[in-house]
Structure 1
């Protein structure tokens, strides 16, 4: 059985920035391409703007460069539509087109300038994670040893995101930052690519308490295909190894709050049988062996689309 897919995290844009000659259509250097999205029936892919520290200090110029790659190489080809507004969700549901949604994975490149936050929104960014793994001007990341929360400027940024309609992402955020952010936001949070700590105790995974908090606020949890977030006791991870994470979230009441955020193009090791979007329909069939069709349909797309239909901003003048 084929099901439409929504994937809430990939790093294809940073790879395209690193290799300007690469083609989004079918480059062998990319996990996520137009061809692989079509083969896996990925209707909507979230593309993260990620600034690797190996290329020097993150800057707004590099943020703009990746947004421009999305505009020119993905949306500009006419083969991928740009999702910005809630009233577009009905087209995602009903049509055969491929869609892309822009996120920012860490606000380091905004350089502490709140005008850049507003400009990102105007340019079409709809999701923002405050940090990557380490500390920046807004907050501490989950791998920062001191484990601090938000800075004063970070709290100002959250207030601006509340006003603009930017959805905030807690994947990579410190535990203290998670709880502080949960008190500050006016719309639910997402964890775009994190698994269950109770199944695999990696710092990037979510505790039961965090999972319950996201469920209580009607947030979303994107289970990810990063092998070492799934299992840490084996060199080979298979799709079935992700099922205990699915079970854990369901047991906490999150069957309608779960989605997937693969982290394709952000990893150099893959789950065997989930190496690219091409394999998504195999994953659908694996899930259908264990769960009812309606639940699987929710995890593959409906839970994510229902969330976006409620919490994306409305286009000015729209009657939706």
Structure 2
């Protein structure tokens, strides 16, 4: 009997070692696939673009050292530098439901808790959405601290302007900023917003894939609008200079925010019904209202976003937004590393420039779309 127990224990230990050693990386590789793995040529115009930026990347969700180059996934620091990507917003994913879809989800399951368990995160991460979200924020600051000056986290206008000035002298620099997908990580407590503000979070999507205590999601069960607590939240976000992100918000939530909030908004990663009609995409009326709020629309790279898989599909949606509300109100919102398959990783951004040229955009307009608009938006709206 003792021998059988020892054998069984050894088998269990071996299974655990295999699981914890390989499962997190397997999930990352299988969920963040890339079709094209090659070196993409960068012409002189691409290299001359001084500020290339992207509004949405979920790389912090995965157990991956951002400072090292990987042959899977979409974004890390070496590939950012290779791609001349100056500025990336890193977004916090704190909870997703099992069987996730764009039509209807409840909040009863928590796949990120299971992922944190597989990644051998501290037990507090398994049970507290707030804790795991703040730890992702801390991870980005740690990467900056250990990057030998090659990467910095931007939290205010002064830091952003200093970074812009420094990068004009040295292109071997990159920067990031923090955003959040889903205010559920506040864990029903409005005052928790202060902690995330201190951690450097500068935009928050009110909802992600399910309705929460603040607002309705485009993919929730009821899809209602702002709650009374949600109205308090957007007021406090405004006071703290934290921008409202309308990505994943329900139709009613979008309408409520645009009616009650006079300040700027953004949609960090989205698409438009005029090009790709589904439950997740913006109507023309919403685009026009966002434009009137001096907002910013980030166009994604994945198939559900743009009804295509290549750079041409993304450029087509960018053209649509530019024609509707102006070329100064659209940028990139890739959703890199967001458990999506893409045609290319961050090093494939030159393909988007080529596609934008084919859409008839001028060089100055392409510079705006590829990052100038994002730079100018945050220079206007970050805290001093």
Taking structure 1 as the reference length, what is the TM-score of the superposition? 0.90
Alignment pair present for 1:312 and 2:355: no
Alignment pair present for 1:286 and 2:343: no
Match of 2:75 among 32, 41, 54: 32
Match of 1:296 among 338, 354, 366: 366
Match of 2:318 among 246, 251, 254: 246
CA distance in 2, matches of 1:22, 1:310: 32
CA RMSD for the aligned pairs?
1.7
Q: Which moved more, 1:21-30 or 1:104-113?
A: 21-30
Partner of 1:317: none
Match of 2:207 among 131, 134, 150: 131
* Aligned ranges 1:165-184 → 2 under 5 Å: 165-184=241-260
Alignment pair present for 1:204 and 2:280: yes
Partner of 2:40: none
How many Å apart are 1:58 and its aligned residue? 5.6
Alignment pair present for 1:157 and 2:240: no
Match of 1:55 among 112, 118, 121: 112
Q: Which moved more, 1:169-178 or 1:24-33?
A: 24-33
CA distance in 1, matches of 2:288, 2:80: 32
Match of 2:300 among 203, 224, 232: 224
* Cα contact 1:58–1:108 (8 A) shared by 2: no
* Cα contact 2:301–2:310 (8 A) shared by 1: no
Partner of 1:265: 337
* Cα contact 2:138–2:199 (8 A) shared by 1: no
Alignment deviations for residues 271-320 of structure 1 (CA, whole Å, 9 cap, x no partner):
3xxx2110112321331233110110110111111111111111xxxxxx
Alignment pair present for 1:42 and 2:85: yes
How many Å apart are 1:152 and its aligned residue? 1.3
How many Å apart are 1:103 and its aligned residue? 0.3
How many Å apart are 1:186 and its aligned residue? 4.1
Partner of 2:56: 9
Flag the 1:126–1:201 CA change in 2: closer, same or farther, 3 A: same
* Cα contact 1:132–1:172 (8 A) shared by 2: yes
The structure with the largest alpha-carbon Rg is 2
Partner of 1:144: 220
* Aligned ranges 1:87-98 → 2 under 5 Å: 87-94=158-165, 95=167, 96=171, 97-98=173-174
Question: How many residue pairs are counted as aligned between the two chains?
Answer: 303
Taking structure 2 as the reference length, what is the TM-score of the superposition? 0.75
Alignment pair present for 1:122 and 2:192: no
* Cα contact 1:195–1:224 (8 A) shared by 2: yes
Flag the 1:116–1:93 CA change in 2: closer, same or farther, 3 A: same
Flag the 1:193–1:84 CA change in 2: closer, same or farther, 3 A: same
CA distance in 2, matches of 1:23, 1:89: 21
* Cα contact 2:55–2:269 (8 A) shared by 1: yes
* Cα contact 1:43–1:92 (8 A) shared by 2: no
Partner of 2:30: none
* Cα contact 2:66–2:77 (8 A) shared by 1: no
Partner of 2:121: none
CA distance in 1, matches of 2:136, 2:72: 17
Alignment pair present for 1:81 and 2:157: no
Gaps of 5+ in 1: 315-320
How many Å apart are 1:73 and its aligned residue? 2.4
